[in-house]
Amino acid sequence: MSRQDVKQSAAAPTGVAPARLSRAGLVAAGSVVLLEACWLVAALPGAALVSDLGGMLVAGWATLACIGVARRHPVPLRRFWTLLALTMGLAAIGRAIWTVQRLVGGDLPHTPVVGVVFTAGILTGTAALLSSPSAPRTAVGRARTLLDGVIVALALVPIGWVLVFRGIAAAELADPARTLGLLFPMFDLMQLTILVAVSGPARPMWRPMTVLAASLTLRVVADVVYVSLVVRADYTAGHPIDLCWPLSYLLIGLATRNPPPPDCDGTDDTAESPLPPWWRVALPYLPVGGAIIAVVLARRPTGQTPLLVFVTMMVLLAALALRQGLAANENLRLVARLRLLAYGDQLTGLPNRLLFNRRLRLALRDGRPVAVLLLDLDGFKQVNDRFGHATGDTLLTGLAARMHTAVNGDGTIARLGGDEFAVLVDGDRPVSPERLAERLLDALRPSDDEEDVGVHPSASIGIAEYGPQHASHTDLLRDADIAMYAAKAAGKSAYRTCTAALRESAVSRAELIADLRRAVDEDQLHLEFQPIVDLTTGAVRSAEALVRWRHPRLGMLPPAKFLPLAEETGLILPIDRWVIHEACRAAATWRGRVPEATVAVNIAAAHLRRPDLIATVTAATSAVGLAPRALTLELTESALIEGTEAVLERLHQLRELGIRIAIDDFGTGYSSLSYLHRIPATELKIDRSFVARLGTDDRAYATVEMVTRLAGAFDLAVVAEGVETERQHEAVTAIGCPRGQGYLYGRPDAPAMVGQNRS
Which one, of 683, 659, 699, lies nearest residue 739 by Cα? 683
Q: How far is the CB of 524 from ligand C2E (least distance, A)?
A: 14
Q: How far apart are CA 439 and CA 118, in angstroms?
A: 72
Nearest distance, CB of residue 666 and Mg ion, angstroms? 8
Per CB under 5 A, the segment of 50-58, 214-222, 266-274, 601-609 that binds Mg ion is: 601-609
CA 387/CA 383 separation, integer angstroms: 6
Query: Are 421 and 455 a contacting pair, CB within 8 Å?
Result: no
Q: Cβ contacts of residue 115 below 8 Å, gap of 6+?
A: 176, 177, 180, 181
Site membership for ligand C2E, residue 582 (CB under 6 A): no
CA-CA distance, 680 to 672, in Å (whole number)? 16
Convert residues 607-646 into a mask of x (bound to ligand C2E by CB under 6 A) and - (unbound). Answer: ---------------------------x------------
Q: Please give the C-alpha separations between residue 570 and each of 518, 565, 587, 644, in angstroms, as whole numbers.
A: 14, 8, 27, 19
In the complex, the smallest distance separating the C-beta of residue 585 from Mg ion, rounded to whole angstroms, is 19
* Spatial distance between the Cα atoms of 295 and 289, rounded to a whole number of angstroms: 10
- Give least dist CB 386 to ligand C2E, A: 32
Q: Which of 188, 223, 576, 683 binds ligand C2E (CB under 6 A)?
A: 576
The answer to the question of residue 683 lying near Mg ion (CB under 5 A) is no
Of 345 and 576, CB closest to Mg ion: 576
Applying the rule CB under 6 A, the residues between 520 and 539 that interact with ligand C2E are 530
Residue 546's binding partner among Mg ion, ligand C2E, none (Cβ under 5 to 8 angstroms by kind) is: ligand C2E
Q: Which is nearer to ligand C2E, 474 or 569 (CB)?
A: 569
User: How far is residue 567 CA from its own chain's centroid?
Assistant: 35
User: If binding means CB under 5 A, how many residues of this protein chain bind Mg ion?
Assistant: 5
Cα–Cα distance measured from residue 405 to residue 398, given in angstroms and rounded to the nearest whole number: 11
Site for Mg ion in 712-741 (CB under 5 A): 721
Q: Which does 559 bind (CB under 5 to 8 A by kind): ligand C2E, Mg ion, none?
A: ligand C2E
Selection from Mg ion, ligand C2E, none that 743 binds (CB < 5 to 8 A by kind) is: ligand C2E
Applying CB under 6 A, among 197, 665, 694, 716 the residue interacting with ligand C2E is 665
How far out from the chain centre does Cα 279 lie?
A: 33
Shortest Å distance, C-beta 576 to ligand C2E? 5
Answer for which of 64, 295, 532, 579 binds ligand C2E (CB under 6 A) is: 579
The residue number whose beta carbon is nearest to Mg ion equals: 634
According to the binding rule CB under 5 A, does residue 582 interact with Mg ion? no
Of 604, 626, 630, 704, the residue at the interface with ligand C2E (CB under 6 A) is: 604
Number of residues in contact with ligand C2E under rule CB under 6 A = 23
What does 547 bind: Mg ion, ligand C2E, none (CB cut-off 5 to 8 Å by kind)? ligand C2E
Contacts of 175 by beta carbon, 8 Å cutoff, 6+ apart: 110
Sign of the alpha-carbon dihedral angle for 72, 78, 83, 84: negative
Q: How far apart are CA 258 and CA 206, in angstroms?
A: 9
| Contact partner at residue 151 from Mg ion, ligand C2E, none, CB < 5 to 8 Å by partner kind | none
602 binds ligand C2E (CB under 6 A): yes
* DSSP string across 250-275: HHHHHHTTSPPPTTTTS----SPPPP
CA separation for the pair 210, 305 (Å, rounded): 39
Please state the closest distance from residue 625 (CB atom) to ligand C2E, in A: 22
Q: Does residue 547 belong to the site contacting ligand C2E (CB under 6 A)?
A: yes
Residue 624: φ, ψ to 5°: -110, 5
- Residue with smaller CB distance to Mg ion, 242 or 634: 634
User: What share of residues in the chain are helix, strand, coil (percent, to 5)?
Assistant: 60, 10, 25
Is 376 near ligand C2E (CB under 6 A)?
Answer: no
How distant, in Å, are the alpha carbons of 231, 235, 720 from that of 112? 19, 20, 120
Question: Quick one: 599 exposed, middle or buried, by C-beta within 10 A (0-12, 13-18, 19+)?
Answer: buried
In this complex, which beta carbon is closest to ligand C2E, that of residue 313 or of residue 753? 753
CA 686 remoteness from chain centre = 55
- DSSP type of residue 411: S
The backbone region for 677, taken as left when phi is positive above 0, alpha when psi lies in -120 to 50, beta otherwise, is alpha
Residue 32, amino acid: V
Task: Write each residue from 706 to 745 as x if it is in contact with ligand C2E (CB under 6 A), else as -, in one continuous string.
Answer: ----------------xxx----------------xxx--
Integer CA distances (angstroms), 195 to 133, 145, 690, in order: 11, 9, 93
Enter the DSSP assignment of 532. E
Q: What is the DSSP letter of 424?
A: E
> Residue 704 CB, nearest distance to Mg ion (Å)?
14
Residues 6+ away with beta carbon under 8 Å from 345: 351, 352, 414, 415
Binding string to Mg ion for residues 622 to 651, with x set by CB under 5 A, is what? ------------x-----------------
What does 168 interact with, of Mg ion, ligand C2E, none (CB < 5 to 8 A by kind)? Answer: none
Residue 664 Cβ vs Mg ion, minimum distance, rounded to whole Å: 4
User: For residue 648, how many other CB atoms are within 10 A of its CB?
Assistant: 15
604 binds, among Mg ion, ligand C2E, none (CB under 5 to 8 A by kind): ligand C2E
Does 602 engage in binding with Mg ion (CB under 5 A)?
A: yes
Whole-angstrom Cα distance, residue 554 to residue 419? 38
Do residues 525 and 547 make contact, with C-beta atoms less than 8 angstroms apart? yes
**186 contact choice in Mg ion, ligand C2E, none (CB below 5 to 8 Å, kind-dependent):** none
Residue from 546, 662, 700, 716 that binds ligand C2E (CB under 6 A)? 546
Site string for ligand C2E, 483-522 (x = CB under 6 A): ----------------------------------------
Minimum distance of Mg ion from residue 415's CB (angstroms): 46
* The binder of ligand C2E chosen from 52, 419, 664, 683 (CB under 6 A): 664
Q: How far is CA 720 from CA 245, 390, 696, in A?
A: 112, 54, 17
Q: Which of 242, 410, 481, 664 binds Mg ion (CB under 5 A)?
A: 664
Compare residues 251 and 692 and give the one whose CB is closer to ligand C2E: 692
Q: Judged by CB under 6 A, which stretch of 60-68, 432-440, 559-567, 668-676 contacts ligand C2E?
A: 559-567
By a kind-dependent CB cut-off of 5 to 8 A, residue 530 interacts, out of ligand C2E, Mg ion, none, with ligand C2E
**By CB under 5 A, is residue 665 in contact with Mg ion?**
yes
Strands (E), 136-263: none
Residue with smaller CB distance to ligand C2E, 327 or 752: 752
Work out what residue 742 binds among ligand C2E, Mg ion, none; the CB cut-off runs from 5 to 8 Å by kind. Answer: ligand C2E
Other beta carbons within 10 angstroms of residue 220's beta carbon come to 19
By the 8 A CB rule, do 86 and 274 touch? no
Nearer to ligand C2E, 352 or 530 (CB): 530
Whose CA is closest to 740, among 674, 752, 727? 727
The DSSP 8-state label assigned to residue 242 in this structure reads G
- Evaluate whether 535 touches 733 at the Cβ level (below 8 Å): yes
Interaction site with ligand C2E (CB under 6 A)? 530, 546-547, 558-560, 563, 576, 579, 602-604, 634, 664-665, 688, 722-724, 741-743, 748
Interaction site with Mg ion (CB under 5 A)? 602, 634, 664-665, 721
